[in-house]
Amino acid sequence: MAESYFDMVAGRTPADLRIDDVRIVDVLSGEIREGSVCVGAGRILGFAPLEAREVVDGQGAYLIPGLIDGHVHIESSMLCPARFAELILPFGTTTVVADPHEIANVKGMDGLRYMLEASRELPLSVRVMLSSCVPALPVEDAGATLEAADLAPLLSDPDVGGLAEMMNVPGLLGGAPDVLAKVAAARDAGKIIDGHAPMLSGSMLDAYAALGVNTDHECTTPEELRDRVARGMYVLLREGSAGREVKKLLPGVTPGNSRRCLFCTDDRQPADILERGHVNGILKLAVELGMDAMDAVRMATLNAAECYRMYDRGAIAPGRRADLVLVRDLKDFEVLACWAGGELVAREGRMLRALTMLHPGTLQSSVNLAPLPEAPFRVEVPSGKARVIGLLPHSLITECRIQEVRTAPDGEVKLADNPGLLKIAVIERHHATGKIGVGLLDAQYGLKGGAIATTIAHDSHNIVVAGDNEDDMLAAVREMERIGGGIVMVSGGKVLDELPLPIGGLMSDRPGEEVAAKLMELLRLAADHYHIWEGADAFMTLSFLALPVIPHFKITARGLFDGDSFSFVDVDAEK
């Protein structure tokens, strides 16, 4: 530690900052006490009212530790790291545990290194987890493949927290050599291994935990939460834009197991952040649902810090990082001021300075399509009985629904002959392989009078497009190719609106408020023109329909995927 820090601790020189008249939320003792907090050299000095160069009057507000998002994909905010930091710091989030597997699936190690370097000098602490599943499954068509040998050199990086969510459960439990090599490298380096195991139970969950997986953010029931805690795992309660599990899981959180629980957003869009907040918004929701405020704050701070072995933060105590958030009360968690590493970075909901961005370089060229066939969205169901992807409200889990469809004499399903039915397709966009997977989507999604396409398509991030007519679907794909990635909305052959995302087809370098405003325009268009179902997020839901590691039925560039059998199935239900 610097000599100046010792001098400030001893009172020989003034502290950098003293915050007076605050109610200190002590997550270590569970008490709230009135007093002052002194800060120097980016760390908390203590509670004695030392002389300070700057004094802030807290006016009786509550001072809580900086909030920690236990699992997030920065790319899902559609913002580069600097713009993401500018968006969430005003909401009191000072640390995020980030898995960059979105950009890693597009650009491999170049994408992963970009996220590391673009995050290093930010006031937002970004603990990067190395993407474990690129591609998510061997049957996917991502832009790159990351092997254990690629990741191993980065495990010694101080900004790397460990191995990101292990989604390839069959590979891990089946002893796939490269999967085991990644897990072994992380364990040998003393790093955390994140989990991703929806609906896993019994002996298979035993094995998953025994192999070193420390966390899971895919629980959907209190029983699953308790099962994982019983096996020594931490459970992350997710509240994102599409996946919202806090209300479902809180009944499973008890005084006995709450210290093994924390919060995460996973995937939350910028407009949603501006409307509902970030981790502070989850705190508000948890308290509204009846959770004790101290327990909720502890889950968002100390528990997350301990889970990810960040022992220098998570509480207001001498020697810890001066990540501090002043909130009006412990009900709404409205943020009045936020300090990150002792620096006042935001006040009254606004950043106090712009952050420097790292140029993305070659990440700006990411849409590479093969010539499309004459009828790219043709699908045949000779039996007249089709497997249709069904949606559940505000859930990433889907259903397989068997539905009668009208077909042409050759068995082709045409949308014009099946009012209300939708087609969904995934087109490989990284290596111009020409692969196109086509399926049918339940009418519940909505989408009347056009098509929507996006390059945000978890996790391989090919182009996913859905529509109620094939012509608009094709027009949307053509426009996507022209703008180099993002979101495109087409109706009657015309582009109604779009959001370009030039960095990997996933992120923008524009300010978060600007991207959020454009996204809000697109969401209003989705509701008013396309009549998208209120139980779905027009774009996030579409993105997750391409993610085969979450049950039950999804679509990839190779076709319809059954997440229960981990195999491809025909759209024709009789095959």
pLDDT in tens, 437-455: 999 999 889 999 999 999 9
Is residue 42 in a domain?
no
Domain span at residue 111? 66-313
Q: In which residue are the tokens 């495990």 written?
A: 155
Angle at 328 between CA 57 and CA 312, to 5 degrees: 75
CA atoms within 13 A on the CB side of 256: 6
Residues 290 and 410 in one domain: no
Q: How many CB atoms lie within 10 A of CB 190?
A: 9
Instruction: Indicate whether 435 and 537 sit together in one domain.
Output: yes
CATH number at residue 253: 3.20.20.140
- The token pair at 23 is 């109610």
For residue 221, which amino acid is it? T
Q: Please write the tens of the pLDDT for every residue from 329-385.
A: 999 999 999 999 999 999 999 999 999 999 998 899 899 999 999 999 999 999 999
Contact 26/63 with Cβ under 8 angstroms? no
Please check whether residues 515 and 384 belong to one and the same domain. Answer: yes
Q: Is pLDDT above 70 for 1?
A: no
Task: Work out the angle at residue 155's Cα, subtended by the Cα atoms of residues 149 and 156, and round it to the nearest 5 degrees.
Answer: 125
**Whole-angstrom distance between the N-terminal and C-terminal Cα of the chain?**
68
Judgement on whether residues 184 and 253 belong to the same structural domain of the protein: yes
Q: Number of folded domains in the chain?
A: 2
CA distances from 494 to 14, 367, 470, 491, 498 (A): 64, 21, 13, 5, 11
Q: Are residues 259 and 395 in the same domain?
A: no
Q: What is the mean pLDDT of residues 53-63?
A: 98
Residues 281 and 404 in one domain: no
DSSP string, 42-63: TEEEESS---BS-EEE-TT-EE
Kindly indicate the confidence band of residue 550, based on its pLDDT and cuts at 50, 70 and 90: confident
pLDDT beyond 80 at 2: no
Spatial CA neighbour of 221 closest among 207, 205, 200: 200
Return the bridge partners of 503, or none: 507
Alpha helix stretches (DSSP H) within 415-465: none
The mean of the pLDDT values for the chain is: 95
In a domain, residue 321? The reply is no
The reply to whether 391 and 501 lie within a common domain is: yes
What is the C-alpha radius of gyration for the chain, rounded to an integer number of angstroms? Answer: 24
Q: Is residue 312 over pLDDT 90?
A: yes
Please check whether residue 354 lies inside any domain of the structure: no
Looking at the structure, tell me whether residues 305 and 368 fall in a common domain.
no
Taking only the tens place, the pLDDT of each residue in 382-420 is 999 999 999 998 788 899 999 999 999 999 999 999 999
Cα gap 121→340, rounded to integer Å: 12
pLDDT (0 to 100) of residue 540: 85
**Phi, psi at residue 224, to the nearest 5°?**
-65, -40
Q: Taking the model in full, what pTM does it have?
A: 0.90
pLDDT band of residue 200 (cuts 50, 70, 90) is: very high
In-domain check, residue 491: yes
491-505: pLDDT as tens digits: 999 999 999 999 999
For residue 15, tell me if it sits in a domain: no
DSSP H or E run through 9:
helix 3-9
Question: What's the CA gap between 378 and 195, in Å, rounded?
Answer: 37
Least reliable range by pLDDT among 226-235, 288-297, 394-403, 404-413: 394-403
- Residue 14 placed within a domain: no
Tell whether 272 is covered by a domain. yes
Query: For tokens 């993401």, what's the residue?
Result: 84
Q: Which amino acid is at 275?
A: E
Is the peptide bond between 135 and the residue preceding it cis, with omega within 30 degrees of 0? yes
Structure tokens at 254: 């008890």
* Single-letter amino acid, residue 105: N
Q: What pLDDT is recorded for position 233?
A: 98
CB atoms under 10 Å from CB of 6, counted, come to 13
Among residues 294, 313, 332, the one where a domain terminates is 313
CA atoms of 188 and 105, how far apart (whole Å): 25
DSSP string, 84-105: HHHHHGGGTEEEEEE--HHHHH
Instruction: Single out the residue in 279, 313, 347 at which a domain terminates.
Output: 313
Does residue 375 sit in the same domain as residue 288? Answer: no
d(CA 438, CA 451): 14
Query: Distance (Å, rounded) from C-alpha 431 to C-alpha 143?
Result: 7
Are 249 and 144 in a shared domain? yes
**What's the CA angle centered on 409, arms 407 and 410, to 5 degrees?**
90
- Same domain, residue pair 288 and 399: no
| DSSP H or E stretch at residue 246 | helix 246-249
**Angle of CA points 349, 355, 357, to nearest 5°:** 135
Strands 62-65 and 17-26: parallel
Q: How do beta strands 160-166 and 215-216 pair?
A: unpaired
Q: Which residues of 397-408 are buried (b: 16+ CB within 10 A; e: fewer)?
A: bbebbebebebe
**Is pLDDT at 232 greater than 80 in this prediction?**
yes
Residues 6+ apart with CB under 8 A from 209: 228, 231, 232, 233
Would 10 be classed as within a structural domain? Answer: no
Q: Which of 313, 329, 353 is the last residue of a domain?
A: 313
* Distance in angstroms (rounded) separating the CA atoms of residues 379 and 572: 9
User: Do residues 372 and 300 share a domain?
Assistant: no
Q: Could you identify the residue written with the tokens 């086509």?
A: 438
